[in-house]
Amino acid sequence: MSEKISTAFLQRAAEVLSEGLSGSQIVSVTSAFAVDFDRDIPHAAYPFNAGNKKTALFENLQPFSPGQQYQVIYELCDRVSTNPNVTSQQKINASQLKLTLLSRYYQFSSDISSNKAVPLVVTEVRHWLSDFPAAKKTYEEALQKHSNGIFTRNALDDLRLSLEALLRQLLNNEKSLENQIPAVGAYIKDNGGSSELANMLVKLIDYYTKYQNTYVKHGDAVPTAEAEFVLEITACFMKHLIRINGTSGR
């Protein structure tokens, strides 16, 4: 586990973020954190005495501790992602930077990186997926993206892929999720489920795949409330399918 955020990552962060922020924004945010953390930064006023924005941001990050650098970069990523004046590519770059920050330097995270309440079943499924590594890996990636408010469409697509991977292992085939629907009903009945429950889940998964195809694969935006629902229902599907199989990994 890293004891600090690497210089190479800080340089990359400065490059990406300076493309989506003005010089005054960089100074404003880093100066605010400098006050909060009682740090002296070299560029506390704008215009700054630096060759460019990238250099100014990189040098302003240096006085902070790793945990503080994490918070500053996290905040700046959000500023770029919500800035209506930047390009789509700049927003994507900021989101990718944030995802790398979260996955590589999670030990420096604080409550700011857990800003969404997650239902118990959603986190619990990670344990139920212990015997299903392909499904678990994609599910955890989806949960990380969702919990930190980035790549919502990607997160929902990851959930679909995770459910698909789980069914492939449970049913011992390589079919797509859409083509698993009849087999799901048979699987539930074969494992002691009622015909009524089997029919209900088959219908739900059918609509689930249609929703994914319409709003996730081809849509531009997914409402937050619907994203929450898709996450929770995916977790419920998975938990029940694993539970009746008798394999929970717990």
- Across the range 142-146, mean pLDDT stands at 83
Between the CA atoms of 162, 168, 170 and 171, what dihedral angle is there, to the nearest 10 degrees? 150
Token pair 């069914």 in the structure block, residue: 167
Give me the pLDDT at residue 143, please: 84
Mean predicted lDDT score pLDDT of the chain: 87
Is 79's pLDDT higher than 90? no
Q: How many percent of the chain have pLDDT more than 90?
A: 58
By mean pLDDT, which of 95-99, 146-150, 163-167 is the weakest? Answer: 146-150
Q: Are 219 and 153 in contact (CB under 8 A)?
A: yes
Q: Domain map of the chain by residue range?
A: 7-113, 120-245
13-70 pLDDT, tens digit each? 999 999 999 999 999 999 989 988 899 999 999 999 898 999 999 999 999 999 999 9
Give me the pLDDT at residue 23, please: 94
Is 112's pLDDT higher than 60? no
176-220 pLDDT, tens digit each? 999 999 999 999 999 999 999 999 999 999 999 999 888 776 655
The predicted model scores a pTM of 0.60
User: 224-245 and 133-147 helices cross at what angle (nearest 10)?
Assistant: 160
**How many angstroms separate the first and last alpha carbons of the chain?**
26
Buried b (16+ CB within 10 A) or exposed e, 96-117: ebbbbbbeebeebbeeebeeee
Token pair 């139920």 in the structure block, residue: 128
- Across the range 67-92, mean pLDDT stands at 89
Is 149's pLDDT higher than 80? no
